[in-house]
A = this chain, B = another copy of it.
Amino acid sequence: MKCLQPWTRRSKQECAADDKDNFMTQPSRQLKLTTAELAGRIGAELIGDGAGVICGINTIQDAGPDEVCFLSSSKFAKRLEETKAAAVMTGAKVDGFDRPQLVVDNVDRALIAIMQMFAPPLKSFEGIHPTAVVEPDAQVDATAAVGPNAYIGHSVTIGAGTVIGPGCSVGENSTIGAGCRLDSNVVVYHNCQIGNGCVIHANTTIGSTGFGYSFIDGRHQLIPHNGGVILEDGVEIGANSCVDRAKFGNTVVGAGTKIDNLVQVAHNVQIGKCCLLAGQTGIAGSTEIGNGVIFAGAAGAVDNIKIGDGAIMGKQTAATRDVPPGQKLLGAIPQEMTHEMRCMSVYQRLPEMSRELKKLTKKVNALEAAKDDTI
């Protein structure tokens, strides 16, 4: 629900500063820190001994004696009794825990920082791989990398620090911003614009033709899709997802919106900023989605509707008409979530209700007959 906070558009400079978070971090191998050093790096208040050595971070259950664990909510504090962790990172001092504690303002923020420190080190591609095919009129920044067997089409522009993975294909006249990562076998069609700091996971397709046909002369004829796709800054898209190009203008995914795996975004859809679309969500053509909207797994929306800022669509719930801002919907014909849950609950008693209704009908008929007798 955090996503309902007002979205503030960040400046290009702020975006650039954030872009580094989107990269696979490349720390030195076998990083070891004392508890005190770790506290210092994340700005934590250290309670207890700072001399112990920390080699990683893990969950309360799985952390080993050389790892720090983290307490995401005080309601899980009891689980600390069982942990083997060397220390705990927490939002508030835990009473009765006898090992070092790193107390931070925001556990998630510290978690991200520590996980980045201890992320498995990875080599990255540099420059244009000799097996990549880059058309001579494409402009690849000197600090960008193009992986093995990738294809960069005519008039494509690729920004600073961007890494194009093995087997990717970028179509004519598309632009990829700075600090982006396209993982293996991503396909970007022609005339698409991808902003700065975007991440696209493997086997995802951006810019395929939309599903728009007209039945003329005895067959479905494709309406050409002369438009493109715009992914604004900081958009992240999972694996095996699709964003179709527009007929006119552009299909747009707003800044900071995150899309999961196997998601379908149809032609001319307009998605706002800071939305979350979970796995297997599908948005049909020309639908407009506000800022901070959340789609749970396999949710979606029919075509040509508007979904207001901060609305939430529950699992497998496809909006069928305009959704006001902030509304939480659930169900096959989506309705307000708590009402849907009441309906579902009665639904499960339907056979019983049906029997009651029959019994009651009999009784009433008997009463009526009796009344007629008494008259």
Measured CB to CB, the residues of A under 8 A from B are 2-3, 5-8, 10, 18, 21-22, 24-25, 57-59, 62, 106, 108-109, 111-112, 115-116, 118-120, 122-123, 129, 131, 133, 147-149, 151, 153-154, 165-167, 169, 171-173, 183-185, 187, 189-191, 199, 201-205, 208-209, 211, 213-224, 226, 234, 236, 238-242, 244, 247-249, 256, 258, 260-262, 264, 266, 274, 276, 278-280, 282, 284, 297-298, 300, 302, 315-316, 318, 320, 331-333, 335, 339, 342-351, 353-354, 356-357, 360-361, 363-364, 367-368, 370-371, 374
Kindly list chain B residues whose C-beta atoms are within 8 Å of the C-beta of A173: 120
List residues of chain B with CB within 8 A of the CB of A236. Answer: 222
The closest CB in chain B to the CB of A342 belongs to B351
- Are A122 and B360 in touch, CB under 8 angstroms? no
Distance between Cα atoms of A218 and B6 in the complex (Å)? 7
Decide if B318 touches A318 in the complex (CB within 8 Å): no
Contacts A169-B202, A248-B59 given; does A21 touch B282 at CB 8 Å: no
Instruction: Label chain A's interface by main secondary structure.
Output: loop
Residues of B with C-beta under 8 A to A129: 133
What is the distance, in angstroms, from A329's C-beta to the closest C-beta of chain B? Answer: 12
* Among A22, A62, A214, A274: residue with most chain B CB under 10 A: A214
* CB-nearest residue of chain B to A106: B216
Q: Do the beta carbons of A226 and B316 come within 8 Å of each other?
A: no
Q: Taking the nearest CB of chain B, how far is it from the CB of A156, in angstroms?
A: 12
Q: How many copies does the complex hold?
A: 3
Q: Which B residues are in CB contact (< 8 Å) with A169?
A: 165-167, 184-185, 202
Contacts of A208 in B (CB 8 A): 183, 201-202, 238-239, 261
Q: Residue A214 contacts which of B59, B112, B123, B172 (CB distance < 8 angstroms)?
A: B112
Q: A208-B261, A363-B368 are in contact. Are A240 and B241 (CB under 8 A)?
A: yes
Residues of chain B lying within 8 A (CB to CB) of residue A224:
25, 112, 115-116, 119
- Nearest B residue to A7 by beta-carbon distance? B218
